Amino acid sequence: MSDKDESPTRVPSPEELDRLFAALREGALSRRRFLAAAAAASGAAALGACDTGQQPSDTSSNPERIWEKDPAPFIQHGTNLETPAELIRGTITPNELFFVRNHGPTPEVDPATYRLRVEGDAVTNPLELSLDQVLELPRRAVITYVECAGNWRGFFPETHGRTATGSQWRTGGAGCAEWVGTPLRGVLERAGLSDAAAYVNLMGLDGAEFSRPMPLDKAVDPDTILAYTMNGETLPRDHGYPLRAIVPGWAGSNSVKWVGRIVVSANPIWVRTNTESYVLTGPDWPREQYEPAAGGPITELTLKSALALPWPAQLSPGRNLIRGFAYSPHAAISRVQWSADGGATWADATMVGPVLPRAFTLFEFDWDAPAGSQHLLVRATDEAGNTQPDDVPFNELGYLLNVPVPHPVEVA
């Protein structure tokens, strides 16, 4: 497994990864072997996959056809697919590698009969639009990451000595893409909002009937769009074909997939996803304050940075080029620091590639790794002056964790 004459953190070229995906599709490479090969191409020694205790997937791991995409490269959590962080190698996450957070199986929506309906007590001119009509509306392209509010939840035992309820994601519940669609604002304007309009609920066509309300202010932000392409391709089914919301900087649950209905109301709209889930609960969030929700509904995400290495990683002693990615919902990343001594001393990493607000920003640094069990810490700062905190209060459902978590590295 350890091919020591290769730099252990070499990032696979887009061509290499394309070749692997092509071989996988043609059946020239088994699904089981794909993960090992992809990890080997990134110098990752397939550890990320092995150490989850999960089998690399084969067809039997997608029994009810939960996803359209091939689950092989991913770490699976029920109906969700986590991107192995060592495969993050650019600002843009390829569609094949983009994480999937599904409350049920990916639905098949017929574009011919698809309709987007806009209605509610604060709508003066209820609308029904066909897909063709949506595609004719003004276009806007947005490069932004989408992140599940529960990303990093799997670190709570380490940071707080307690397990939070839900899928135990490490750092791969986020991805960054270029989305093209039409601003939600324009659709709402066509539907004519009354002065009282205050809340907007986006509703999915999946069997889980997933929906998530947001305040009007965010719905009319010019960058909140209804997207129909992802990285230049028709929106993939797993990511919401034919139409999904993209709500930059806010918890992924707001970016409702397979949107079929939009309800605008003068009053707060309470559904499961803003009363029972996607709320901050626990001793630090007194319930009474948020009735009828069990805690404060999550809106904006938190600033984070992560290493593009398997968990745990295996490296050779001596000089290693370490890479990672950072992102903030507030502003562009301005600084990334790293520490190999538990945070006693920090050095600056170098940012590489585009530095865009609300997008993955890549960084790298050289580490002269001593033999033995080591830990690496990274910490990002954004242009708005936010830095990853040393400590955050616990919340029972395990959202928004962003304290720097020591990344285990075996150096041998």
391 C-beta neighbours (distance < 10 Å), count: 7
Q: Which of 94, 172, 252, 404 binds ligand MTE (CB under 6 A)?
A: 252
Q: Which is nearer to Mo ion, 9 or 328 (CB)?
A: 328
Q: Does 253 bind ligand MTE (CB under 6 A)?
A: yes
210 binds, among Mo ion, ligand MTE, none (CB under 5 to 8 A by kind): ligand MTE
- Residue 291 backbone dihedrals phi, psi, to 5 degrees: -45, 140
Q: Does 328 bind ligand MTE (CB under 6 A)?
A: no
Query: At a CB cut-off of 8 Å and minimum separation 6, what does 50 contact?
Result: none
Q: Which of 71, 154, 166, 252 binds Mo ion (CB under 5 A)?
A: 252
Q: Does 242 bind Mo ion (CB under 5 A)?
A: no
For residue 64, give both structure tokens: 């009810």
Which listed range, 34-42, 88-96, 250-258, 322-330, lies at the site for ligand MTE (CB under 6 A)? 250-258
Q: Which is nearer to ligand MTE, 99 or 156 (CB)?
A: 99
Which listed range, 59-67, 98-106, 332-340, 398-406, lies at the site for ligand MTE (CB under 6 A)? 98-106
Q: Does 301 bind ligand MTE (CB under 6 A)?
A: no
Q: Does 101 bind Mo ion (CB under 5 A)?
A: yes
Q: Which is nearer to ligand MTE, 113 or 289 (CB)?
A: 113
Which listed range, 254-262, 314-322, 329-337, 372-380, lies at the site for ligand MTE (CB under 6 A)? 254-262
Q: Which is nearer to Mo ion, 8 or 252 (CB)?
A: 252
Q: Which of 22, 28, 196, 208 binds ligand MTE (CB under 6 A)?
A: 208
The residue count for binding ligand MTE (CB under 6 A) is 19
Residues 265 and 119: their CA atoms lie apart, in Å, by: 9
> C-beta of 212: minimal distance to ligand MTE in Å?
7
Interacting positions 230-249 with ligand MTE (CB under 6 A): 239
Q: Does 148 bind Mo ion (CB under 5 A)?
A: yes
Q: Are strands 313-315 and 407-411 parallel, antiparallel or unpaired?
A: parallel
Q: Does 255 bind ligand MTE (CB under 6 A)?
A: yes
> C-beta of 239: minimal distance to ligand MTE in Å?
4
* Residue 3 burial class via C-beta count within 10 angstroms: exposed 0-12, middle 13-18, buried 19 and up: exposed
Q: Does 224 bind ligand MTE (CB under 6 A)?
A: no
Residues 1 and 14: their CA atoms lie apart, in Å, by: 22
222 C-beta neighbours (distance < 10 Å), count: 11
> C-beta of 146: minimal distance to ligand MTE in Å?
5
> C-beta of 279: minimal distance to ligand MTE in Å?
13
> C-beta of 100: minimal distance to ligand MTE in Å?
4
Residues 125 and 17: their CA atoms lie apart, in Å, by: 49
Q: Does 253 bind Mo ion (CB under 5 A)?
A: yes
What is the contact surface with Mo ion in residues (CB under 5 A)?
Answer: 101, 148, 252-253
What is the contact surface with ligand MTE in residues (CB under 6 A)?
Answer: 98-103, 146, 148, 204, 206, 208, 210, 239, 252-253, 255-258
